[in-house]
A = this chain, B = another copy of it.
Amino acid sequence: MIGSLYAGHVARVCEVSVLCRREEHARALNEHGLRVSGRHDFTAQVQAATDPAELLEAELVIVATKTTELDAAFSRLAGHWPEAAVMTVQNGLGAEEVAARHGDWPLVSAVTFMSGTRHSDTHVEYILDTETWLGPYGDTPFELVEEIAALLVEAELKAIAFEDLRPAQWSKLIFNSTVNSVAALTGLPHDPHFAERDSVEELGHLVHELMAEGKRVAEAAGVELHEDPWEMNVHATRRGSRHYPSMLEDVEAHRPTEIDQITGALVREAERLGVDVPLQTAMYRLVKAREASWASD
Nearest CB on B from A67, distance (A)? 16
Is A72 an interface residue, CB under 8 A from the partner?
A: no
CB under 8 Å from chain B, chain A span 203-229: 203, 205-206, 209
Residue of B nearest to A207 (CB): B285
CB under 8 Å from chain B, chain A span 189-207: 193, 200-203, 205-206
Is A282 an interface residue, CB under 8 A from the partner?
A: yes
The listed residue (B203, B206, B267, B286) touching A182 by CB distance below 8 A is B286
**Contact mask for chain A residues 268-297; partner B; CB cutoff 8 A; 1 contact, 0 none:** 000100000011011011101110111000
Is B290 a contact partner of A185 (Cβ separation < 8 A)? yes
The listed residue (B202, B206, B264, B267) touching A282 by CB distance below 8 A is B206
Is A201 a contact partner of B294 (Cβ separation < 8 A)? no
Chain A contact residue count (CB 8 A cutoff): 30
Oligomer copy total: 2
Q: Which residues of B contact A187 (CB under 8 A)?
A: 290, 293-294
Q: How far is the CA of A186 from the CA of B278 in the complex (A)?
A: 18
Is A70 an interface residue, CB under 8 A from the partner?
A: no
Nearest CB on B from A21, distance (A)? 28
Is A193 a contact partner of B292 (Cβ separation < 8 A)? yes
Q: Which residues of B contact A290 (CB under 8 A)?
A: 185-188
CB within 8 Å for A286 and B201 given contacts A279-B278, A292-B193: no
Is B278 a contact partner of A201 (Cβ separation < 8 A)? no
Q: How far is the CA of A288 from the CA of B187 in the complex (A)?
A: 11
Q: How far is the CA of A202 from the CA of B205 in the complex (A)?
A: 25
CB within 8 Å for A285 and B188 given contacts A278-B278, A279-B278, A279-B279: no
- Chain A: residues with CB nearer than 8 A to chain B? 182, 185-188, 193, 200-203, 205-206, 209, 260, 264, 267, 271, 278-279, 281-282, 284-286, 288-290, 292-294
List 15 additional contacts besides A186-B289, A209-B282, A286-B286; criterion CB under 8 Å.
Answer: A182-B289, A185-B185, A185-B186, A186-B286, A186-B293, A187-B293, A193-B292, A200-B267, A200-B281, A201-B284, A201-B288, A203-B288, A203-B289, A206-B282, A278-B279
The 9 A-B pairs at the shortest CB distance, nearest first, are namely: A187-B293, A186-B289, A203-B289, A206-B285, A188-B293, A186-B290, A201-B288, A185-B185, A203-B285
